[in-house]
Amino acid sequence: MVVLITENDIEKEGVPLVEKLIDISSYPVINVLELLLQDKSTKKNIIWATDTYEEFGEGFTDKVQMNANSLLRHPDMIRPRIQKSQEAQAQRTRKKAEVFTPAWLCNQMNNHCDNDWFGWDGVFNTENADNTWTVSEGKIEFPKQRKWQQYVDSRRLEITCGEAPYLVSRYDVSTGELIVPPIRRIGILDRKLRIVNENTDTYEEWLKWTTRAFEASYGYEYQGDNVLIARVNLLLTFTDYYEERWGQQPDGKLLEQIANKIAWNIWQMDGLKDTVPLGKPYEEFRQMTLFDMLGDALDSYEDDPEAVPCRIFNWRSKTSMKFMDIKEM
């Protein structure tokens, strides 16, 4: 079901009238927003890496770090692609080849991977001719040679992930329609969480394996707003499953722990270079130097920024490593 939002939630013509899917100013996002903006590679914040928001002023240009205070002054600016204007969508497609995959196709491709892992078809759902799917009933069975814990721990990476529709499917990114209840969702992490729900009895065991499911789910994206939206979608996925299973909201400390793992596992990267986009992020405030005052023509920090190799975290060995080094293994 699609619920309409009020006119106050619409900034300009051409924005689809669908439910507000991302709200950085409300629980649980606002509780951990600063964590969700972190870039673990630079030890600063992620940058915009897009000129979509430059009309908002100097703090919203492509090389500038995304700042929680600035974002909260314009909380409605962060919205999924489906809720951006047609003009903005076309511009992002033209400049960054941004095209999002509908849920039915994400489901089809994730099914293909699971068919290979399990050794048979229709593990989590059956695809229908009208691009819908029918959820498999009953507890998911596993091959004799494999255990459910191995599936939860299997590492999956969504490249150029956008809003992370292959990892989590809170909504169909092509229509904005919410996918409820969670058992109907088709993301990689959604499937892991179904397995955890079906195979754990105690809170401690559920939380342990839910955490491991998040630790084994990765994705990278170039544009900063998409990175944030993807991270928010993973965080809201956690709270959705938590509240459904336990009938209450997770406490602040647990939210911070999950948000920290999400900030590591969904990272900002130029996939062609394995580095942070556009070099080092500009400092939010930088003291003027003698060279600035003289207006020298020497290469400055901004003109020739150093490329920062992206780092990811191995939660089993508890070590971080350069992503480019993993590709050479």
pLDDT tens readout for residues 9-46: 434 444 444 578 999 999 999 999 999 999 999 999 99
Q: How confident is the model at residue 305, as a pLDDT?
A: 63
Taking alpha carbons only, the member of 119, 157, 135, 168 closest to residue 269 is: 157
pLDDT band at 281 (very low <50, low <70, confident <90, very high): low
Taking alpha carbons only, the member of 128, 166, 148 closest to residue 209 is: 148
Taking alpha carbons only, the member of 299, 186, 300, 181 closest to residue 245 is: 181
Q: How confident is the model at residue 93, as a pLDDT?
A: 67
171: its two tokens: 């909504």
pLDDT band at 86 (very low <50, low <70, confident <90, very high): confident
pLDDT band at 208 (very low <50, low <70, confident <90, very high): very high
Q: How confident is the model at residue 97, as a pLDDT?
A: 61
Q: Distance between CA atoms of 117 and 192, rounded to whole angstroms?
A: 13
Q: How confident is the model at residue 3, as a pLDDT?
A: 29
Q: Is the pLDDT of residue 211 over 90?
A: yes
Query: Is the separation of the CB atoms in 28 and 249 below 8 Å?
Result: yes
Least confident of 227-231, 257-261, 312-316, 325-329: 325-329
Q: Distance between CA atoms of 234 and 18, rounded to whole angstroms?
A: 20
Determine the average pLDDT of the residues in 137-164: 97
Q: How confident is the model at residue 263, as a pLDDT?
A: 98
Q: Which residues pair with 64 in a beta bridge?
A: 282
Domain ranges (residues) in the chain? 7-327
Percent over 90 (pLDDT), the chain? 77
DSSP characters over 14-76: T---------TTSTTTGGGHHHHTEETTTTEE-B--SSTTGGG-GGGSTTBBP-HHHHHHSGG
User: Across all residues in the chain, what is the average pLDDT?
Assistant: 88
Determine the average pLDDT of the residues in 282-286: 46
Q: Is the pLDDT of residue 299 over 60?
A: no
| pLDDT, greater one: 50 or 283 | 50
Amino acid at site 125: N
Q: Which residues pair with 313 in a beta bridge?
A: 320
Tokens 């293909």 belong to 112
Q: How confident is the model at residue 8, as a pLDDT?
A: 42
- In Å, how far from its chain's centre is CA 63? 20
Enter the pTM of the model: 0.87
Q: Distance between CA atoms of 120 and 141, rounded to whole angstroms?
A: 11
